[in-house]
Amino acid sequence: MKDGNLLKNRAEEGFLAWLSANNRNNPEKLFIHSIDQDKSISHGAMFRLSRQIGHDLAARGFKANDRVALLAGNSIEHLAVYFGVLAYGATICTINVEMNRAHFSEILRAVDARVVLYEAGLGLESLAEQSGGEWLALGEWGKSESDGFFTGIAGLPEHGDAPPVNISSDVASIFYTSGTESTPKGIVCTYRELIANVAPTAAAFGIKADDRVLDFRSFNWISAQVLSALAPLSVGATLLLARKFSRSRYFDWLAEHRATIAAGNPTTINMLNNRPHAITGDDLPHLRYIFSSSAPLLRQDWEEFEAR
């Protein structure tokens, strides 16, 4: 390529390249198991689904920096849209429904998305009158009697043209801070910034193809997106997806789904400390480690957790 920043062939680098490699090398391998939905998607099926999403965006005339806003909780559909938009070369804007609800109007005006995909049942439909763009319910992947976005793309071809992307300047994702201490801020990541963070994250956490990463954190935020979605995607690993943390079910998830790596944070670790579970390391032979994110973890809390 004459311009090293211009990504003309979407299969050469990054998100589409990872999806393509997994489809080519191990298409039947489990990519995501959604615990609460009790359904799974393979690496091959995710590649095909992401291509159908790209075909839909192409039909809508999406170009680089055109935005898709996503208002949804953790689900296979949520992550399929996330991967599909990135693989195509547009901009995905993830907005946390619970934390950002009080600021939806100003966030949606600032995002100015051409398409807003929302999870039905969360009381979001009235917001369509307050912002531009086309509003579509997500619907459910793989459910013929469903309606919404995923029903609409079900019959689309699994290929399509995509716009050229300048990875240095074109925006891959925008996510919003929680707003717990001030007005939520939109954090902008270019394609280069997002792609460049994935391989070092996978290497730092030792994530390999045979790992099964359990995460319950919101995939509207970049920590879960990079560490537990994109890093497993980049190496062909598996994500075990929960919608929210459950103190009573957490260790059952680890055991039943043979998690090798699991998410935690100071709040959830303290919850587990305060109400110990009758389980030992011998009950979790596959588990390599639990990481903690979001805030500093006191040494004494971690030592207490390890001791149990």
Q: What is the DSSP letter of 209?
A: T
Whether 163 maps to a domain, the answer reads: yes
Spatial CA neighbour of 70 closest among 55, 46, 86: 86
Whether 230 maps to a domain, the answer reads: no
Instruction: Bin 116: left if φ > 0, else alpha if -120 < ψ < 50, else beta.
Output: beta
Domain that holds residue 149: 6-28+41-192
Residue 166 reports pLDDT greater than 50: yes
Tokens of 224: 């879960």
The better pLDDT of the pair 301, 238 is held by: 238
pLDDT given for residue 10 in this prediction: 41
pLDDT tens per residue, range 251-278: 999 999 999 999 998 888 888 888 767 7
Whether 138 maps to a domain, the answer reads: yes
For residue 162, report the phi and psi dihedrals to the nearest 5 degrees.
-130, 155
Residue 136 reports pLDDT greater than 80: yes
The better pLDDT of the pair 163, 297 is held by: 163
pLDDT tens per residue, range 212-244: 999 999 999 999 999 999 999 999 999 999 999
Whether 221 maps to a domain, the answer reads: no
Position 152 confidence tier, pLDDT thresholds 50, 70, 90: very high
Q: How many domains does the chain have?
A: 1
Whether 262 maps to a domain, the answer reads: no
Q: What residues does 45 pair with on adjacent strands?
A: none
Residues 6+ apart with CB under 8 A from 161: 58
Whether 81 maps to a domain, the answer reads: yes
Whether 185 maps to a domain, the answer reads: yes
For 43-170, strand residue ranges (E) read: 67-71, 91-94, 115-118, 134-137, 165-166
Whether 14 maps to a domain, the answer reads: yes
pLDDT tens per residue, range 87-104: 999 999 999 888 777 778
pLDDT given for residue 243 in this prediction: 96
Contact 161, 51 (CB under 8 A): no
CATH number for the domain harbouring residue 171: 3.40.50.12780
Tokens of 24: 């080519």
